[in-house]
Structure 1
Amino acid sequence: MVRSKRYRINEYRISEFADGRLWWDAHSGIGKQIGGPCFVYGNMLVLGTRCSEEDGFLKLEFFNQLKRLPFWHKTRYYCFISALMDVSSGRNISEQKLQQLIALASRSDTDSENMVSERPGTFRLWQYQIFIPPDGNIIWRTCGGMGQIFGGSVIIESDVLFLGPKKFDDPRQKNKRDFLNSLRSLPKWGRTNLWCRSLALKPISPVEKEKPFFSLPKKPKILQQTRIVPKSHHSKYVKQAWSQITDYYSNTVDELKARWPKGIIGVCLDMGKNPTIFF
């Protein structure tokens, strides 16, 4: 089958076949190439499950060819199918179910953003509480293991509800039992078909285009150690010691002169030498 066009997204090569099907390839291991199908769902390119492995280029050769390809521009975002969950079952979405949703979406032009902003309310999405205020800034809440209630922001894009990272603790509800009882009484979330526990939505932006594909590891810089020569105080100590020695022997000579008669003892004290006593 002849590929009509090839694109790139970061370290992935996207191939578009003449019949409209999409396929992704990536480098793996030593001279290996893995790949799988792709699906366009709304404004997202969904990279499907890996289902092939074959001999390919070495890593440097693969990325050298990849950087010559034009960047993917037919969707604003991309994500992996392994991160998407089915709202109805709470399990990972299958490729077959995703293709069914794509077929249904192609027959309707529903604007999910307008639908959400015009219909505020509070809903239950499995263990999460989804709150839609009138201003459209959606948040999620859930209960932790220690009974702590916390939450974060929500993004809805292309019929997928993405839970953002934890941003706040809810001081209004500190009882886990009360939170769960309130959660059970809420209507089920049904405004999107898919959801994701993390913000796995990745933008295709100019910032990502400038990201290098492959680079050799840089050698660490070896800093030359500067030898620190300790300051010498030798001359200072020598002067102090010599002064003490001369004072000591000067006192010794005076005592000997007082005890012994003149002419019997002679003391010779020469600079730089030990004193010599002779009779």
Structure 2
Amino acid sequence: MRITTYRLGERRIVQAGDGLWWEAHAGIGALQSGRCIVRGSLLFLFPSEREEPGYLKREFLESLHGLAEWDRTKYYCSNYSIHDCRSGRRLTDKEFFEWPRYRAVSIDHCDSWASVSRGNPHSLDARSFKLGQHEIIQRNGQWWWNTCSVSGTLREGRCAVEGEILFFGVCERAESGGLKESFLERFRHLPQWNSTNLFCPSCAIYDCRTGENLIGLEEDMHLAGPAVIPDGGVPIPFAKTASPLPLAMHSPPSAPFRTPRRSSCVDSTLSLLEGLAGKAFAEIHRMKEGVLKWRMRRKKRSLEMQNHRFHVKKWIAWGGVVILMVRFLLLFLHRLWECAGHHPEHHEHSADRHRRN
């Protein structure tokens, strides 16, 4: 079986008979790996599936220097979320990996992640569709998304079709001022989006050569904001970022993706110290948690012992009360018995006196 390896940033891409795999350094002397899949001009990196002993970080990076750069795709994607366009359901990694080849999209789209003129997404020659609670607009080969929040703020940003998947970019502009009614009225008459089977509302897409994030910060893409769902649409999260984040690359296309050069000995020592410090902090945290749990158990036992003593004292008091009541009852019955025994003798003495008289 032929195995080919490539370099992609600080990852190793391995092409074997069973498909594509990525490998990366993790922790102290550890190596994590996961599957990859190519969709169009995108390389999707699946989450890590296994971790095994490997190299120190600097040693692993040095092992990548002699490998050829990954050039089968222009971009790679991580931290993604793929959904079905009809139901809005999120696909699992297994479903996405086994998803059949999609039909060819019947849309005119260019390289939407490249630098293009902004233009007006609401011009007369624009085509619009609806996908869940978003309006998808096309103008001059550039795709835009529009949505309206609960407060009536109209948000918009760019999107792109890559690998026959519709990707949503970050929010680039927010406009308020009585636009909710007009948006909903226009939205009701839009045709359904059917050019792709899948869409991706949150992801991080990088250029394979420069490592530049073409959508925006990863943490921004996973923040979902409130929005109106018109006519029972499927909810689709969107980024809260209102500041313009251009999708174009900021670095020159010719700039290669390079790792910083440092001394191997210093890097190995720093990695070792960082790992030891992390383990020490984790051990201290576990010790603190153990002491806290021990104190809680001791306090709980003390409270249980106090409750037990209280119940014992209570039953002793009630037992004393019952004993006193029984003694008083016996004394009362004894007095009654004595009174009942003296009355017949008194009647007999009275009868003898009458006879003598």
| Both structures adopt the same fold (TM-score exceeding 0.5) | yes
Query: How far does residue 71 in structure 1 lie from its aligned partner after superposition?
Result: 0.8
Unpaired runs of 5+ residues, structure 2, are 113-124, 211-253, 268-357
Instruction: List aligned pairs for 1:120-135, cutoff 5 A.
Output: 121-133=127-139, 135=140
What is the distance in 1 between the residues matched to 2:60 and 2:205? 25
- How many residues align? The count is 209
1:98-126 deviation line (CA, Å, top 9, x unaligned) = 2344x424xx65575459x9x96311222
1:42 maps to what in 2? 40
What is the distance in 2 between the residues matched to 1:93 and 1:208? 35
For the Cα contact (< 8 Å) 1:112–1:158, is it kept in 2? no
Name the aligned partner's letter for residue 8 of structure 2.
I
Instruction: List aligned pairs for 1:1-279, cutoff 5 A.
Output: 4-17=3-16, 19=17, 21-80=19-78, 82-101=80-99, 103-105=100-102, 112-113=107-108, 121-133=127-139, 135-170=140-175, 174-180=178-184, 182-198=186-202, 200-205=204-209, 209-212=256-259, 215=262
For the Cα contact (< 8 Å) 1:28–1:34, is it kept in 2? yes
1:224-271 deviation line (CA, Å, top 9, x unaligned) = xxxxxxxxxxxxxxxxxxxxxxxxxxxxxxxxxxxxxxxxxxxxxxxx
TM-score normalised by length of structure 2: 0.51
Query: How far does residue 9 in structure 1 lie from its aligned partner after superposition?
Result: 0.9
TM-score normalised by length of structure 1: 0.64
**Percent same amino acid among aligned pairs?**
32
| 4+ aligned runs moved over 4 Å, structure 1 | 108-112, 213-218
1:145-190 deviation line (CA, Å, top 9, x unaligned) = 432112122222221222222222346x734355345434433222
For the Cα contact (< 8 Å) 2:137–2:143, is it kept in 1? yes
Query: How far does residue 48 in structure 1 lie from its aligned partner after superposition?
Result: 1.2
Q: Secondary structure at the match of 1:197?
A: strand
For the Cα contact (< 8 Å) 1:112–1:157, is it kept in 2? no
Name the aligned partner's letter for residue 193 of structure 1.
N
Q: Note closer, same or farther for the CA distance 1:114–1:29 as it changes in structure 2 (3 Å cut).
A: closer
Q: Secondary structure at the match of 1:104?
A: coil
For the Cα contact (< 8 Å) 1:10–1:213, is it kept in 2? no
Unpaired runs of 5+ residues, structure 1, are 219-279
Structure number with higher strand proportion: 1
The alignment's C-alpha RMSD in Å is 3.2
Structure number with higher helix proportion: 2
What is the distance in 2 between the residues matched to 1:213 and 1:8? 15
